Amino acid sequence: RVPTRLNAILLIPVLVGLVMGGFQVKGSIDTWQEAQDAERTALVVRAASEYGQALLNERDLTAQPLLTGDAEAPVVGRARAATDAAKKKFDLAVRDMPAKQGLERRLSLFRAEEPKLVALRKSAYIEAVETADKSGGKGGPVATEEGYVLVQHSLMEFANELGLGTGNITSYGRTVYAIQLAKAAESLQRSIGTHLLVRPSQKNDVRNGQTIAFSSYAYLEDIAVGEYVSGGTSEDTVRLQDVMTQKAAEGAKKLTAAQQQAAAAGEDFVAPPSLEGSVLDGMVAAIATGASPEQLARRGVTPEAWMAASTAKFDGYTVLEKDLVDKAVADAAQISDNARNDAITNGAIVVIALLAAFVLAGMMARQMSRSMRELRTAAFGIAEQRLPMLVDQLSRTEPGRVDTRVQPIPIDSRDEIGEVARAFDQVHREAVRLAAEQAMLRGNVNAIFTNLSRRNQSLIEGQLTLISELENNEGDPDQLENLFRLDHLATRMRRNGENLLVLAGEEPGRRWNQPVPLVDVLRAATSEVESYARIELTGVPETEIHGQSVTDLVHLLAELLENATTFSSPQTKVRVTATRLPDGRVMIEIHDKGIGLTAEDFADINHKLANPPTVDATVSQRMGLFVVGRLSDRHGIRVQLRPSGEQAGTTSLVMLPDAITHGGGGEPLPADDFTVSQLIPDQPDPADEPVFQSAPMLTAAELGFDDSRYEDQAAQAAQDAADNGPRTLDPVNRTLRREERRAEVGTSTGEGQPVFGDGTDSHYREEVDGRYVPQQASYDQGYAPQQPVDPAAGFQAPDSGYNAYQEPLAQPYTEAVYPEPQSPETPYESAFAAQPQQDEWAGQSTYQDTYEAHRPTEAESVPDAPEIAQDRVGFDRPGPSPSSSHTLTDAGLPRRGGG
């Protein structure tokens, strides 16, 4: 590559120049290192100064409370806490201390004295006073003051290690040490003076010793100040005078304020004495006379006045010390920065001078390669991430809600690479525009589907209403049967119209919020299939479907049943069974004996059922497959197709999640009924139990259902289903009303059996005549919404057409999941008080029929089965059938027993 060749040309001379310039750079780095050591030393000195000041404040501020016996005073705790904090800060500073002999020696001296602070705090003032009083002055109370000096003095000595890299090293360190010494002497005067004013020793010799020490430290302060002036600069001397003048003025203001406050309170105020205009010097002279505290108080020298005046001067020394130490830190940091800058500058000059040619060539090569890299990265990002993500968002969201702005590739050059970037930006814009137009086109198509379907649905609903009125008013059995066929055809038309709504991503307008038995859902789905006479329901467990999912489940099952009847011989039956699994789910099996599918077709269809595709031309060819996928995804239902196993044809497995099912399990299937569950042979019973006992419940995997293809879609779909709002059961009610009308007019086809009958219709007709005829009035009125019922008035709502409820009805079956309340009126009241309304047509009456527990088994159908009632939707095993005992659940639905 060109960049590699250019770099190789200048590599050898650059290496030689770097070796020769390295010596000069190393000298600058050594200077920088020395300056850094000086900066770290200054930081240690500052931390030591703060630590020493905290020790002095602890000794002075705690003198009065400890001398008066108040060891728990708040000021004691605060002062000692401040000292502990300063100690931690000092310990952190010495961790980064340069490894110099002088610093290490002074640190070892301080570490030897520091442990004495614990014992010193324990015996501060109180034990010292007691010792002095009992021992005749041996040790004396001055031991506390001087004990703190031993610890603090070793911290002061760190100031002598200040080194700023100039000829003023000794002078500057001497100045800092002198001001620290003056501050320490002032602090000793403050603590001893407080001691003499609060609790002087009762022995004359000890008290005289205290007075002498007080005067001695005043003299030491003057010596330290003279040393500061002689060792410092003229600016330091001026600074000292300014600070002391300022502090004296502040003290005078405080004194005046105290005098005014006493006068306002009507109290006597005695101003402390002054010497040559200095109140502090006047009080020092008064205390040095050895007068008693009472005598001094009469002259205005009180512990409070003394502490205020001496603290003002102590603070002045503190300000000067802090300024000097901060200046030392700042100067050391500046020298360190200068040394670092010199090292960097020298090194940069050497490197730049030797690498100029190489850098220029490298920059050109790097710029070209960087532009190519950016262009390549941006192109791959757009092709592999941006455009696919945008297309996916446009397919799931309205185009107006998707950000379709194109971010240009960040290449601003005007060369050929920049021109390629601008051309690619234009291609990107065109691709985004086409994707947005395609999404808008899909949205328009969906809107067309929705509008056409809504219009068609409105007409069909009107047609169904008219047919229902004709059925309710028709007394001729043959003519009523023709109306039923017309009703069935219109129902299928409505389902086809709803397919367009599903294609458009909309939901049907029919809504219901009551749970419905699974067998009624299967019947409703059967009624929407053209060859409904070939469908047989067997082994349906007693479970109920959540009202929010009923309408879509009916639609889904109808599509699968339509597919099973279409692609199988007209002379065969389509068997529908259901099984409750141990985990609470319910699996519906739809078996046909059709032409079947290849393994590739099964894999493709199952993939599309689990991941419904977007609407395109291929969807219109397999609309049922798309509708089933969309509806199952909406409610967390899983649908799979598989071969029928031992028989020819296809088996559709519909797995209903526990979130939309209610109720208990069902009865075992007859041994001659083939289902997926029969593929697993029963295990022999070692205990030789009776054969009528049910086999253990099989899992989904044992029944052939593959749960591994689904990840976390079930929980999300169930949550989405809960947010979709309630729907009603119009298909179920229409199926039940159709059978009631057949019973009312005494219609019979074929051999005279009702469609859902059991072959012996005499009992059924007798019960119908006694129970269902009064309901004709409600159907003639167009299924008006029911009003809440007063429990005390019986079970007859206004204009409902139902017989009045006089006493609790007999319960022929046991109810395992929905127990009957103690009060017979409660379920009816709760059911009718919250009767839902439909969105696009009037509300309809709640059906009130239950089903008998035992029916004669219907034999397997033979080819060319006649179109008679008992062959349309029969049962090959005992199952639910209409009954005269109209017991309801708490939701107002037919109660189903356990047999």
**Tens of pLDDT, residues 245-278:** 888 788 777 777 777 777 777 767 777 887 777 7
User: Is 458 domain-assigned?
Assistant: no
Instruction: Tell me the C-alpha to C-alpha distance, in Å, between residue 288 and each of 178, 210, 224, 282.
Output: 24, 9, 20, 10
Mean pLDDT across 337-360: 78
DSSP H or E stretch at residue 787:
none
- The domain that holds 808 is classified in CATH as 3.30.565.10
Mean pLDDT of 463-481: 85
**Residues 715 and 614 occupy one common structural domain:** yes
Q: How many CB atoms lie within 10 A of CB 422?
A: 12
Domain-embedded: residue 475 = no
Q: Assess contact for 303 and 315: CB atoms under 8 A.
A: no
Quick one: 272 and 183 in the same domain?
yes
pLDDT given for residue 347 in this prediction: 80
Which pLDDT value is given to residue 137?
43
Residue 898 falls inside a structural domain: no
Report the distance separating Cα 163 and Cα 288, nearest Å: 40
Separation CA 330–CA 324 (nearest Å) = 10
Same-domain pairing of 64 and 197: yes
The count of structural domains within the chain is 3
Mark whether 25 and 157 lie in a shared domain: yes
DSSP 291-350: --HHHHHHTT--HHHHHHHHHHHHHHHHHHHHHHHHHHHHHHHHHHHHHHHHHHHHHHHH
Residue 11, in any domain of the structure: no
Domain of 623, in residue numbers? 507-681+696-883
| Mean pLDDT computed over every residue of the chain | 71
Domain identity same for 263 and 412 = no
pLDDT at 874 over 90: no
Of residues 452 and 677, more confidence is placed in 452
288 pLDDT band (50/70/90 cuts)?
Answer: confident
Assess whether pLDDT exceeds 50 at residue 228: yes
Confidence band, pLDDT 50/70/90 cuts, at residue 87: very high
In the chain, pLDDT over 70 holds for what percent of residues?
A: 66
For residues 619-626, give the mean pLDDT.
75
Arithmetic mean of pLDDT, 702-709: 60
pLDDT (average), residues 630-641: 88
- The radius of gyration of the chain from alpha carbons, rounded to an integer in Å, stands at 51
**526 and 670 assigned to the same domain:** yes
Share of the chain above pLDDT 90, in %: 7
42 or 738, which is more confident? 42
In DSSP notation, 134-145 reads HHTSSS-THHHH
pLDDT in tens, 534-556: 999 998 888 889 888 888 899 89
- Which band of pLDDT confidence, cut at 50, 70 and 90, is reported for residue 759? very low
pLDDT at 834: 33
pLDDT digits (tens, 9 = 90+) for 112-152: 988 988 888 888 776 545 554 544 444 555 677 888 888 88
Q: What is the pLDDT of residue 835?
A: 33
Residue 248 lies in a domain: yes
What secondary structure does DSSP assign to 77-127, as a single string?
HHHHHHHHHHHHHHHHHHHT----HHHHHHHHHHHHHTTHHHHHHHTTTHH
Task: State yes or no: pLDDT of 579 exceeds 80.
Answer: yes
Pair (879, 747) in one structural domain: yes
pLDDT score at 587 = 92
- The type of residue at 63 is A
pLDDT at 529: 87
Question: Beta strand pairing status for 543-545 and 586-591?
Answer: unpaired
Quick check: is 7 in a domain? no
Domain match, 539 and 659 both:
yes
Residue 294 lies in a domain: yes
Q: Give domain status of residue 598, yes or no.
A: yes
The whole-number pLDDT of residue 883 equals: 38
Q: Quick check: 561 pLDDT over 90?
A: yes
The string of pLDDT tens digits covering residues 815-834 is 333 333 333 333 323 332 33
Averaged pLDDT, 777-786: 33
Provide the pLDDT for residue 92.
Answer: 92
Instruction: Taking residues 465-471, report their average pLDDT.
Output: 86
pLDDT of residue 69: 80
Q: Is the pLDDT of residue 731 over 70?
A: no
Q: Are residues 748 and 839 in the same domain?
A: yes
pLDDT band of residue 508 (cuts 50, 70, 90) is low
Q: Are residues 517 and 598 in the same domain?
A: yes
Q: What local confidence, expressed as pLDDT, does residue 706 receive?
A: 65
- Of 411-420, 557-566, 748-757, least confident by mean pLDDT is 748-757
CA distance 3 to 370: 12
Average pLDDT over residues 752-763: 35
Q: Average pLDDT, stretch 478-505? A: 80
- Residue 164's pLDDT is what? 54
Whether the CB-CB separation of 635 and 718 falls below 8 Å is answered with yes
Same domain, 291 and 378: no
In this structure, are 378 and 254 located in the same domain? no
